[in-house]
Amino acid sequence: MESINPATGQRNAEYAEHSPEQVRHLVESAHQSFLNWREVSFAERKTRMQKAAQVLRDNKEEYARLMTLEMGKIIKESRAEVEKCAWVCDYYAENAENFLKDELVETDASRSFVSFSPIGVVLAVMPWNFPFWQVFRFAAPALMAGNTALLKHASNVPGCAQAIEDVFMKAGFPRRTFTTLMIGSGAVETVIRHPSVKAVTLTGSEIAGKKVAAVAGDEIKKTVMELGGSDPFIVLEDADIPGCVLTSSLARMLNTGQSCIAAKRFIVVESRVKEFEEQQTAIMSALKMGDPLLEETQTGPMARPDLVDELDAQVQQSIAMGARLLTGGVRPKGNGSFYPPTVLSDVKPGMPVFDQETFGPVSAIIPVKDMEEAIAAANSSEFGLGGSIWTRDVKKGEAAARRIESGAVFVNGMTKSDPRLPFGGVKKSGYGRELSHYGIKEFVNIKSIWIA
């Protein structure tokens, strides 16, 4: 398995793929580890998880550089990702026992309650765009609940996959409590069907989600799916345009636009479209694109050449259908998987940048008449992961947020994930939740106990 630097196209390293026999042994070892780990006290689990957070912080520069070399995010964002992983470890270390304590329920019994117990080995199929965060937001609650974890990471970030396993080993977790499987996508079905695997969580594309969910469903195994997004960024007539434009650029360009919850469709009332276009275009066109390891770089390469091809095709087809190009839209020559910050306006339903998820640095501005039309445009998407609404009238913003069909809506703020809030979507963005107390309860046996 090869690790390729997307900024240069050069190979970072090669990693040996696990054979089917090795995979079977690792899965069975994870199950044996579970039989012991589920008996370990919350206090002991807490100590290990806090140590994992410390290992992350102590090695932040090493892990940040690895992420940047493997998938291209700028080094400042890589450091922030390591810090966020440490945060989620600390969060579940502190809160897991309380989240999973017995819940007393008044019934006709002398005593009745709900208990929460681990279910066993959980397989995580994870993407490359946040190669540490996506894994830790699953692993921290799963391990604190008493489960053991198998990771099938994206094939272009094998170094990150191995480094994450090393974090848990350095933190003193028992061997095979967390295990990285060096396998391609073709080997996933066999792992899901192994009797020791009890559940699957996937973050990735709609296509990958369908395949994994179908296999898990055939085996009657629990799944959580966090799939794509085409998040609306709604700008109402009373919005603070300078403030929301600054946030809109960050919301679109974080991770070079390669984020499920990136703002992608900028739905702006007609009376404010011109100033929004001018200000967002000025910011986007001034971003410095280049080597993601340099501190001054503001946007780096996309993760793979094929992703650039797909994004450029979406842009060019939308322009051919009537979208107006304000900046960008021309692939640079030279090495590396770069695509310039791009702004399109006059975007309408039927265009790829409206209907599809654009996983890269492309902003689609959609003029609408009023709030009602804005909400209708937001909800017309097949996706429903996140969204944001900008208005000086907070009550109006809250009322509109309740009508948006998505797993999260931020009023006058950028959509982001937070360990304290549940994360997930509706419609083709998936189902189930990660993070908060909802996330840790996805992979436990919620058992009613009634005593006469």
CA–CA gap between residue 168 and residue 175 (Å, rounded)? 9
HSE-CB of 169 using CA atoms within 13 angstroms: 10
- SS3 label, residue 365: strand
Q: Which of 350, 356, 354 is nearest to 428 (CA)?
A: 356
* Both structure tokens of 74: 């700028």
CA–CA gap between residue 225 and residue 273 (Å, rounded)? 35
- 428 phi, psi to nearest 5 deg: -80, 5
Q: Cβ distance 266 to 251 under 8 Å?
A: no
- Provide the edge-to-edge strand list for the sheet that holds 121-125: 178-180, 148-152, 121-125, 197-203, 222-226, 430-431
Q: Cβ distance 174 to 167 under 8 Å?
A: no
- Tell me whether residue 260 is one of the annotated catalytic residues: yes
- SS3 label, residue 114: strand
Strand partners, 118: 444
Q: Which of 190, 280, 197 is nearest to 233 (CA)?
A: 280
Q: Which of 70, 165, 226, 442 is catalytic?
A: 226
Q: Cβ distance 367 to 270 under 8 Å?
A: yes
- Tell me whether residue 77 is one of the annotated catalytic residues: no
- Which amino acid is present at 15? Y
Neighbours of 179 (CB within 10 A): 19
- 143 phi, psi to nearest 5 deg: -70, -40
Radius of gyration of the chain (CA): 22
- SS3 label, residue 142: helix
β pairing state of 121-125 and 383-384:
unpaired
Q: Cβ distance 383 to 428 under 8 Å?
A: yes
Burial class (CB in 10 A: 0-12, 13-18, 19+), 218: exposed
β pairing state of 324-327 and 342-345:
antiparallel
Q: Which of 85, 89, 160, 260 is catalytic?
A: 260
CA distances from 75 to 36, 224, 300 (A): 39, 30, 9
Handedness of CA 104, 105, 111, 115 (dihedral sign): negative
Handedness of CA 179, 292, 280, 247 (dihedral sign): positive
- Which of the residues are catalytic? 226, 260
